[in-house]
């Protein structure tokens, strides 16, 4: 891991340049290479044109699994069988996690509202769920029942009628039974064993066997993320997720083992994950202790090669001049995960404006948010926490504004509305008001 020690403003600029460079360089950016873009565009266009036939061909080519279009969907009895065969201890863990997620997300619901004014005018907003949601669950190097829960439960709480799940056939030509069992538990409507960019195109455009949806959520590799960005013109998506990241703020009171464990946990996601520790000059000894601890822990971890690559290429220690600078850099970084391991974490937290999920104190590892506490683990990456949020129930709902104007109110406001329309040169707009009122003008049209 590289070390940045800030001694002057030029050093501060260099740190910010490094933070920014992670998302603008070809090595680790959410801005994809020309090769990836061309490949995904080809896949999307082919699926759009040829539907199920294209998806079957891409599934055989990329996943090594031969399926007919009729075999894309996993029969309900197979899903129920996986659920019934699930170990009772695992089932209890997943059920508890699901309940925590449901409870947390149920608090996010907005209500429709309506107001009737004295003259009979009615204004309001109607909040309604989208009709069909598509959920992508990764299935390459590992299987992720937690991703099922984090995507499906908010959609269910929102009132979505149809939830369509897709996942690569990477477990003996199908989807891992624990993922299938979790899908049943969470209430998925239909499950398809297809993945990659082709599955995103299938959900967006629809085929003879795969229904088109209104929104697609869920994490995936660079091909999945690129496909989601490409189909955004016809279907909504959650976000264009990039490599996972954690920023740990630590002071001299932090336990080196706890800090090291957070950096290691994030680094094991993939080689492009970013793990950063930041502290102040007076507490910089914590960095030396953490670095030694990482070396001690690393050799016993299964994914040590991935972790080493991630930490060597995208890990960093940052030594700021004071705590104000720590706050400034944290808000600039806008991390996906922020772990605050200081003596008074809430004093730091109250100054944080940009972060996807904030873990307060030494007893709150990122893993509790990933799996169990209830908040969503689908979070903005790549500095997007400056302007976007974690996945919520409201991402599966939409608002319709409505207006009922009384005759007297339109008459009272007609001149102002007509004048506003004429300011913009939209005379037909003005005429649509004039024709309903006594505010006729001799304006040539």
**Domain spans of the chain, in order of start:** 2-30+242-373, 34-241, 405-434
Catalytic residue chosen out of the listed positions 176, 209, 269, 337:
337
User: Got the DSSP string for 173-242?
Assistant: TB--HHHHHHHHHHT-SEEE---HHHHHHHHHH--SSS---SEEE----HHHHHHHHHGGGTSEES----
Under 8 Å between Cβ of 382 and 242 = yes
The CATH code for residues 34-241 is 3.40.50.1980
Catalytic residue chosen out of the listed positions 262, 271, 336, 434:
336
Task: Tokens 């300011």: give the residue.
Answer: 423
Whole-number Å distance between alpha carbons of 445 and 443: 6
What Å distances lie between residue 21 and 17, 315, 407, CA to CA?
6, 13, 59
Whole-number Å distance between alpha carbons of 75 and 68: 14
Whole-number Å distance between alpha carbons of 149 and 186: 6
Q: CB-based contacts of 125: which residues, under 8 Å, 6+ apart?
A: 112, 113, 114, 399, 400, 401, 402
Whole-number Å distance between alpha carbons of 425 and 353: 41
pTM of the model: 0.90
Q: CB-based contacts of 318: which residues, under 8 Å, 6+ apart?
A: 3, 4, 6, 15, 276, 277, 278, 279, 329
Which CATH number fits the domain 2-30+242-373, given the four candidates 3.40.50.12160, 1.10.1740.10, 3.40.50.1980, 3.40.710.10?
Answer: 3.40.50.1980
Q: Please determine whether the domains at 2-30+242-373 and 34-241 fall in the same fold group of CATH.
A: yes
| pLDDT tens per residue across all 445 residues of the chain | 999 999 999 999 999 999 988 765 444 444 458 899 999 999 999 999 999 999 999 999 999 999 999 999 999 999 999 999 999 999 999 999 999 999 999 997 999 999 999 888 999 999 999 999 999 999 876 789 999 999 999 999 999 999 999 999 999 999 999 999 999 999 999 999 999 999 999 999 999 999 999 999 999 888 999 999 999 989 999 987 788 999 999 999 999 999 999 999 999 998 999 999 999 999 999 999 999 999 999 989 999 999 999 999 999 999 999 999 999 999 999 999 999 999 999 999 999 999 999 999 999 999 999 999 999 999 999 999 999 999 999 999 999 999 999 888 999 999 999 999 999 999 999 999 999 997 655 544 4
Task: Tokens 């199920």: give the residue.
Answer: 52
Concerning whether 337 is annotated as a catalytic residue, the answer is yes
Beta strands in 251-396 (DSSP E): 274-280, 315-320, 337-341, 357-360
The HSE-up count of residue 370 (CA atoms within 13 Å, CB side) is 16
């Amino acid at each position: 891991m590289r070390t940045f020690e800030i001694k002057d403003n030029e050093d501060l600029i260099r740190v910010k340049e490094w933070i920014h460079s992670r998302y603008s360089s070809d090595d680790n950016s959410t801005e994809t290479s020309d090769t990836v873009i061309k490949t995904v565009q080809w896949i999307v266009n082919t699926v759009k044109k040829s539907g199920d036939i294209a998806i079957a061909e891409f599934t055989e080519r990329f996943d090594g699994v031969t399926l007919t279009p009729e075999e894309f969907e996993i029969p309900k009895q197979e899903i129920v069988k996986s659920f019934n065969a699930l170990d009772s201890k695992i089932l209890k863990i997943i059920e508890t996690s699901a309940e925590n997620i449901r409870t947390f997300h149920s608090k996010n619901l907005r209500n429709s509202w309506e107001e009737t004014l004295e003259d009979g005018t009615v204004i309001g907003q109607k909040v309604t769920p989208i009709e069909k949601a598509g959920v992508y669950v990764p299935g390459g190097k590992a299987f992720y029942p937690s991703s099922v829960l984090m995507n499906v439960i908010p959609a269910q709480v929102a009132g979505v009628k149809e939830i369509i799940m897709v996942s690569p056939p990477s477990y003996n030509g199908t989807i891992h039974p624990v993922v299938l069992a979790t899908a049943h538990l969470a209430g998925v409507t239909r499950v398809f064993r297809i993945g990659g960019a082709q599955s995103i195109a299938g959900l967006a455009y629809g085929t003879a066997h795969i229904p088109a949806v209104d929104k697609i959520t869920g994490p995936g590799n660079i091909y999945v993320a690129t496909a989601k960005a490409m189909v955004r013109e016809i279907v909504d998506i959650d976000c264009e997720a990039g490599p996972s990241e954690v920023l740990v703020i630590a002071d001299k009171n932090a336990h080196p083992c706890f800090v090291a464990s957070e950096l290691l946990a994030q680094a094991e996601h993939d080689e492009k994950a970013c793990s950063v520790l930041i502290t102040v000059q007076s507490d910089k000894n914590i960095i030396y202790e953490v670095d030694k601890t990482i070396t001690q822990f690393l050799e016993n971890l299964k994914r040590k090669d991935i972790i080493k690559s991630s930490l060597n290429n995208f890990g960093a220690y940052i030594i700021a001049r004071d705590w104000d600078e720590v706050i400034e850099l944290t808000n600039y970084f806008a991390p996906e995960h922020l772990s605050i391991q200081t003596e008074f974490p809430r004093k730091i937290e109250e100054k944080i404006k940009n972060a996807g999920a904030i873990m307060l104190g030494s007893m709150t590892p990122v893993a509790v948010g990933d799996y169990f506490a209830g908040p969503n683990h689908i979070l903005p990456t790549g500095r997007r926490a400056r302007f976007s949020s974690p996945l919520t129930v409201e991402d599966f709902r939409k608002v319709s504004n409505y207006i009922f104007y009384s005759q007297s109110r339109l008459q009272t406001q007609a001149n102002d509305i007509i004048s506003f329309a004429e300011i913009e040169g939209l005379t037909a707009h003005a005429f649509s008001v004039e024709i309903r009122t006594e505010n006729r003008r001799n304006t040539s049209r």
